[in-house]
Amino acid sequence: MVNLNVNIQGKFSTLIQKGCLAMAYAYRYAQDKNYPHLKDFGAADLILCLLKGWNEGYIEDNGYVAKPVKYLNMICDFKTPCRDISKVFINSLSELPDGDWVVEYVDGAKTHFVVANRNKIVFDPSYPSLTCAKGHVFSYRKLIF
């Protein structure tokens, strides 16, 4: 039952504004071309992945992905389940391996996640992100199977 004494709009607003990592994971992995059932993946699908992860308790009210491995395995149809995620520190996009990666940018205390390759950002959930424009590349996430 819905608690009517809660600012539901505020809760969803915060979740979506702060859910950049969850949306970046969904963009990069849930729409993978190996999974043709998601061929028409769009903005609503990103939000549905975010909401499903939040509803399952893998994402907190503030958008923090508290259980990223469980979240990824829930939204993705990996042939082999993801076992862990490694944070790999880099100084520029040119240091990325081939392909598209979930990349963390920092600007002071602010962080933001996008999907990028060696040449450019290919997906930014808050396009255009000021954290990316003013900050610098900090790390990327490597999935371990």
| Residue 51 forms part of a structural domain | yes
User: What is the per-residue pLDDT for 43?
Assistant: 86
Give pLDDT tens digits for 20-65.
999 999 999 986 544 455 556 788 888 999 999 999 999 999 999 9
Q: Is residue 2 part of a domain?
A: no
Q: Is residue 20 part of a domain?
A: yes
Output the DSSP codes for 73-120.
Answer: HHH---SS---EEEEEE-SSGGGSPSS-EEEEEEETTEEEEEEE-SS-
Query: What per-residue string of b and e applies to 51-90 under the rule 16 or more CB within 10 Å gives b?
Result: bbbbeeebbbeebebeebbbbbbebbeeeeebeebeeeeb
In the chain, the number of structural domains is 1
Confidence band (pLDDT; 50, 70, 90) for 3? confident
In angstroms, the CA 25 to CA 67 distance is 12
Residue 103 lies in a domain: yes
* pLDDT value at residue 27: 93
What is residue 129's DSSP assignment? P
Q: Which domain holds residue 17?
A: 8-144
Is 1 a member of any domain? Answer: no
Is 3 contained in some domain? Answer: no
The answer as to whether 99 is a domain residue is yes
